[in-house]
Amino acid sequence: MLKIADADSAENNSGSSHCVVTPLSCSLPDRREGGPKASGEERLKILPGTRLHAICGSEDDSEQYYCNYGVNEEYEKQFQAAGLRVSARGIQGETRAVELPGHRFFIATLFQPQLSSRPEAPHRFWLAFLRAAMKFQKARSKPSTTRPDHPKPRAKAAKV
């Protein structure tokens, strides 16, 4: 979406000069022993006006992580110019979630809401995602209201 032909993740070691995903610079304070840099819990700010905020219902949140890589902040402005919106930030302002406004449902997070979801209390994020999929399924199954564009029947050729 940035129209960068060799955009890559640093994890792939491709030698690309445009790594839009790079190793996280800081470890989380709650880092698990032997775990990746971002492992454990972190407080974050969910930005008002975003879809993620509508799902989570508050600005202050705390989520579970298990990863080593994140968005290269040098490309943040380009991502925003391309239509991606930051929807959550870490305590030092790092990008923690992005979304596409106007899309049916397109949210990517650095944290993993599945790690804090529980059978008796499923994470709101998954409820919202499934609701979006259900709505989409319903919309897809509706018969089209527009008249199908069938070719006109050809006039029978007159017998000679």
Applying CB under 8 A, the residues found at the interface with another protein are: 1, 8-9, 11-12, 66-67, 69, 100, 103-109, 111-115, 117-119, 122-123, 125-127, 129-134, 136-137, 140-141
- Whole-number Å distance between alpha carbons of 44 and 153: 62
Residue placing its CB nearer to another protein in the complex, 14 or 151: 14
Q: Are strands 38-46 and 85-90 parallel, antiparallel or unpaired?
A: antiparallel
- Whole-number Å distance between alpha carbons of 98 and 103: 12
Residue placing its CB nearer to another protein in the complex, 75 or 125: 125
The phi and psi torsions of 110 (rounded to 5 degrees) equal: -80, -35
Residue placing its CB nearer to another protein in the complex, 91 or 126: 126
The CB-of-58 to another protein minimum distance in angstroms stands at 19
- Whole-number Å distance between alpha carbons of 97 and 91: 13
The CB-of-129 to another protein minimum distance in angstroms stands at 5
The CB-of-157 to another protein minimum distance in angstroms stands at 39
Q: Which residues contact 123 (CB under 8 A, 6 or more apart)?
A: 113, 114, 116, 117
The CB-of-72 to another protein minimum distance in angstroms stands at 15
Residue placing its CB nearer to another protein in the complex, 26 or 127: 127
Both tokens assigned to 99: 């979304």
The CB-of-74 to another protein minimum distance in angstroms stands at 20
Residue placing its CB nearer to another protein in the complex, 13 or 159: 13
- Whole-number Å distance between alpha carbons of 123 and 61: 12
